[in-house]
Amino acid sequence: MNQQAQAALAEALARTVQGVPGVAFLKPDVAQRLRSALSVPRLGHASPPGGLRVSRTGGSEPWSIEVQIVIRAEARAVEVTRATRTAIETFLEARDPAATSQITITVTGIV
């Protein structure tokens, strides 16, 4: 999978995670914080979403997905974490039923 396809997958996964009830947002990375502070637009290509890493060493290897989320104060962290994992697994299964994945979800904050 080329970088452009992997970035598209990461973007689709980010939208999936952000749609999970109880998820406030993905943890922003340093580049996103600087861009928003400096208001510098990036032309031509989108950067990978902060709080989400997607990698795969080979076509038959499992996906390694690391997600860092900030949850809403009224939500229970364990329920949001489980729902996030289920949403990712469902998305990946619909995309490629034969693919396997290793998913790590970390709650980094509560708002």
Tens-place pLDDT, residues 50-84: 899 998 877 778 889 999 999 999 999 999 999 99
Positive or negative, the CA dihedral 32, 23, 68, 4 is negative
Number of domains in the chain: 1
| Distance in Å from the first CA to the final CA of the chain | 36
Angle, vertex CA 49, rays to CA 48 and CA 54, nearest 5: 70
The reported pTM is 0.81
Say which CATH number the domain at 105 has.
Answer: 3.30.70.1350
Mean confidence (pLDDT) of the chain: 85
Structure tokens at 83: 């729902």
> How high is the pLDDT of residue 39?
55
- In the block, residue with structure tokens 């979403």: 49
pLDDT at 32 over 60: no
Domain that holds residue 95: 3-110
